[in-house]
Amino acid sequence: MSTTQADDAGRSEDAAAIEAGRLLFARPCRFVAGVADAESLPPLGPNEAAFAGRSNVGKSSLVNALTDQKALARASHTPGRTRQLNFFDLDGRLALVDLPGYGHAAASKSAIKQWTGLVIDYLKGRANLRRVLLLIDGRHGIKPIDQSIMTLMDEAAVSYQIVLTKIDEVKAPQLNAVMAGAAEVTARHGAAHPEILATSAVSGAGIAILRARLVALASAKPIG
């Protein structure tokens, strides 16, 4: 196959994946449960993709943008407001899990310990979890606390992928620098997916590509 033919095939595959993602996320998505302890986790069902990140990084806003529902996930301007795992079912084909934000000092130490324990239990014990999308504020890039979470997921052998958020607030040169820095960091982490995605829940940038990646996870088989 020539280079031109290979390029055409690649574009065709990308277009097909984007269309598959559009079709999946046009299906009904509903809130299933909010879980505050490991004993209350819902039974295993379809494959799961979880959203993690610092408090107020935009997890709920991104879930809403993906599903094209303004109030499916409750977004808050108060850091640390989400204190449980929120499960959403996408037409019985994929579950989206909004994890509690980390890194907000205003929450009590006992609450932070409880959230951390719950998230670790979920990450290590959820057989149908296919990937964690680790959201990073595109204005600031990966911080030391994010790298600590990356190390935790490396140790738990949990596949994760960096997704930059709020890129509508970043000029191209700054975004390129953040992308390059994120690529350098992820190269040092064994469980990190090499592809870094850039998104905006406000402008819609990158949403179609992220949907395409998620539709692939919907049918992915367990690792190992």
pLDDT digits 0-9 by tens, 118-133: 888 899 889 999 999 9
Query: Which CA distances in Å does 53 have to 27, 46, 138?
Result: 26, 23, 12
Least confident of 37-41, 112-116, 193-197: 112-116
pLDDT of residue 1: 40
Tens-digit pLDDT profile for residues 42-65: 999 999 999 999 988 999 899 999
What is the average per-residue pLDDT within 104-115? 58
How far is it, in rounded angstroms, from Cα 196 to Cα 186? 9
Question: What residues does each domain of the chain span?
Answer: 3-218
Highest mean pLDDT among 4-8, 60-64, 207-211: 207-211
Residue type, 38: A
Asked if residue 161 lies in contact with residue 189, where contact means CB atoms within 8 angstroms, the answer is: no
Least confident of 3-7, 113-117, 121-125: 3-7
Superfamily of domain 3-218: P-loop containing nucleotide triphosphate hydrolases (3.40.50.300)
Given a cut of 80, whether residue 12 has pLDDT beyond it is no
pLDDT of residue 108: 56
Given a cut of 80, whether residue 103 has pLDDT beyond it is no
Asked if residue 197 lies in contact with residue 166, where contact means CB atoms within 8 angstroms, the answer is: no
Tens-digit pLDDT profile for residues 142-185: 999 899 899 989 998 999 999 999 999 999 999 999 999 999 99
**Tokens (6 digits) for 78:** 């108060």
Q: What is the mean pLDDT of the chain?
A: 86
Given a cut of 70, whether residue 113 has pLDDT beyond it is no
Asked if residue 38 lies in contact with residue 119, where contact means CB atoms within 8 angstroms, the answer is: no
- pLDDT > 90: what percent of the chain? 66
Given a cut of 80, whether residue 205 has pLDDT beyond it is yes
Q: Of residues 80 and 62, which shows the higher confidence score? A: 62
